[in-house]
Amino acid sequence: MPSNKSVSDAPIVQFTNCRILRGHQLQREDLWVREGKILNPEKLFFDEKGSADVQLDCKGSIIAPGFIDVQINGGFGVDFSLATGDFKSGIDLVSQKILSHGVTSFCPTLVTSPPAVYHQVLPQISIRNGGAHGAGILGAHLEGPFISKEKKGAHPEHCLRTFEAGAFQDLLATYGSLDHVRIVTLAPEMKRSSEVIRELTKRGICVSLGHSVANLSQAEEAVQHGATFITHLFNAMLPFHHRDPGIVGLLTSDKIPAGRRVFYGMISDGIHTNPAALRIAHRAHPKGLVLVTDAIAGMGLAPGRHTLGQQVVEIDGLNTYIAGTKTLSGSVATMDTCVRHFHEATGCSVETALEAASLHPAQLLGIEHKKGTLNYDSDADFLLLNDDLYVQATYIAGKEVWRQ
């Protein structure tokens, strides 16, 4: 057997008897991994004269990139919008538990909160790689408080804010720091939002439009200033109207700057969006669809009363409401459930369903060179799934971190 030790002493693992998602297609190929990265086998054979140290038979499984959840408010009794003394152990618990749902990286999401909460919680969210300890953290998603009163949804009205004269300084004072922030959801119709969008974009922070009564031209202007995402499409925005389709109109707008793609999140849990609406969005703009869970602390727990930041919510089956109302407040769906529902509701291909939870969120965050694909030199964060898209095993950096 030729030696592969010339280049690296790290073991090479070859995953065989599988179909891997590469180039938008499920391909009957083996997957080769070394030192947490996906290897190009041709280079290995011809340049290094190397071979596998370990072969793993995947028994016909699908291998897909790990799921990336860019909007998750908590789960398993942990609420990211509550400033508790053991916040760190809470975030660790969620990152560990979501491995079984195929999530290998996520953006912990805070809903509208008082400034004191941001000042306490944000310093405790650090960007980190995933591993046996849990899914990687890509940075925080701050949903609010700069959103519309009319479309506040489950966000507490007394905490909502507007931009005053020093708009960006208002935002900084509210959050305390933007060090580990990856996404900010705001309402683009607010006065002075344009300068805020420009400043956030300049700092590499993704601006998302949501909880808003913006008309289409206000939404288009926000995109021209740098916004690239729509928070949970159809929910907490003006309904589609043929004379002014509002934010929804961005899906087919001809005013998007050249070379820019607008992405949109969808909670594909069968409750937040009717399957017909899911199909309309997907057919209008398939390459922009990003599956999100919008999961709350009650995900993974029995029905009953739980929290979402400052509010008490009630879980009734798969429905979550602000206590005493019929206002939907996040979901209790897991990411793998959302992928299966999306696949079933739209009749899309397996590849399309998987990419909506992996490739598209990676593209949104500009990390598709290392996450969201199984391309050579990408991070070896991937899942083994059966044909019905149930997760059988989760790998991060080439190491198994969860198995059914």
Tokens of 5: 């030790």
User: Nearest to residue 273, comparing CAs of 359, 195, 341, 343?
Assistant: 341
Task: Decide: residue 377, CB within 10 A, 0-12 exposed, 13-18 middle, 19+ buried.
Answer: exposed
Rg (CA), the chain: 21
* Cα–Cα distance, 75 to 289 (Å, whole number): 23
362 is in an annotated binding site: no
Q: Which residues face 110 on adjacent strands?
A: 142
Catalytically annotated residue among 294, 336, 379, 381:
294
150 is in an annotated binding site: no
330 is in an annotated binding site: yes
351 is in an annotated binding site: no
* Cα–Cα distance, 20 to 234 (Å, whole number): 33
Asked if 236 and 272 touch (Cβ cutoff 8 Å), the reply is no
Residues of 99-135 as b/e, b for ≥16 C-beta within 10 angstroms?
bbbbbbbbbbbbbbbbeebbbbbbebbeebebeeebb
Residue 336 annotated in active site: no
238 is in an annotated binding site: no
235 is in an annotated binding site: yes
329 is in an annotated binding site: yes
236 is in an annotated binding site: yes
Tokens of 355: 């990419």
The residues that are catalytic are 294
Instruction: Write out the binding residues.
Output: 143, 154, 211, 232, 235-236, 243, 272, 328-330
Instruction: Write out the binding residues for substrate.
Output: 154, 235-236, 243, 272, 328-330
Instruction: Write out the binding residues for Zn(2+).
Output: 143, 211, 232
